[in-house]
Structure 1
Amino acid sequence: MKSAASLTEAPEATDGREVKGAIMRARLRAATEQLIAEVGVDAASAAAIALRCGVSRGAMLHHYPTRNELIIDTAAHFWQRARDIVAGLADDVGNGRTDVATFVGRLYEEVFRANALVTMLDLMVSGRSETKIGEAVNGILSDLFTSYEDLGAQAFEASGLPRERIHVIITLIVSTLRGLRIQDNIHPDEARVRAVLATLVEAVEALLQKGDRTAPRRVSKKPKAATTRSRKR
């Protein structure tokens, strides 16, 4: 029969093991992101990931029985992290706490410049030959881009633009930032990055301002007549 002391210590011990396990899994995901970003999916073997993390392969397999499970979990955590960042930015823009320049700049720095983005792009390509990884990553990315569109609509709904048009603007932002990240990974040039970001902000602001100007006319049944009367006044 267990003593009272041992009974009270058991939950704490269990919690302690869970915390240590969560920390170890986070370390393994971080090592996986870094390694795939540096050498690609094919070269990121289970042994190489364990070495990068500084643990034995057995310790890694205790948390992730297969390499595929580790890679898929790494991708899933990237999706959640990216979505949380975009949700916060969308809420700030939608409530007037920040502007387009901050939205675009932070999106690039906090999501697209992360090692995880390069990892995800590599997984997209290599996943075509590995069905399990490919299906998982494609599903994760599909969810991610859907959330971008939904959160973008929330951020820019005050522009008066139709939701479909805002989705086009979000696609413009995401596609530009993704391409810029790939280009900068191949040939780093900070001055060019800043110039592209500034140009993208100008384009998005112009599109949103156009929505502000055209919103009232979309409500009127006779926009030309309404415009003529307003000028006579």
Structure 2
Amino acid sequence: MADYVVGLTGGVASGKSEVTRRFEALGVTVADADVAARDAVAVGSPGLAEVVAAFGAQALAADGSLDRAAMRRRVFTDDAARARLEAIVHPRVRELLQATCAAAPGPYAIAAIPLLAEALPAAGGQAAGRGAYPWLRRVLVVDVPVDVQRARLLARDGIDAALAERMIAAQATRLQRLAIADDVLVNDGPLQALDAQVAALDARYRAMAAAD
């Protein structure tokens, strides 16, 4: 079991998935909040029933699953709706992440949490003040400039510039993410540059877990 858990976060389109894939290639278990969020509102789940109770049947796709595209459009234009959805989904996601990390083999595990900065107070990178995630021992932020986020969003999702701006604005700012960081991985260059950075972080976390 992995008692040492690193929280990994970054803004939308920062390249978190590329980073976590490299950790997984080194044998590290990654518990993904996006996967946990899907499980939390799977068809037939209490979470999905609660979403329907809050937002109505229009929250569902034709097959009875959550209509993610419709909900995304709704919550990115309505702060109150986003808060209601997060209040339903986030506690379930935290439980699933913690359980996955606790059961992971190896000296440490990673919890990939896109909205971690929104859930944690700025604590100067210290374990005290981990807020909703007191079981995290360290926080790694994947950092990119906002103009890089914007360009990647437009290319990746095929959305217009206005929606890209709203998606970026709906999250914590770059400075707020950096304020909770113990470690920062800058991902504004070629993907190959990630390999050495991830390898160095993996060695650091293995040593920290062994000394814990």
- Taking structure 2 as the reference length, what is the TM-score of the superposition? 0.30
Compare the two structures and name the one with the higher helix fraction: 1
- Taking structure 1 as the reference length, what is the TM-score of the superposition? 0.28
- State the structure with bigger RCO (CA 8 A, min sep 6), 1 or 2: 2
Structure possessing the higher radius of gyration over alpha carbons: 1
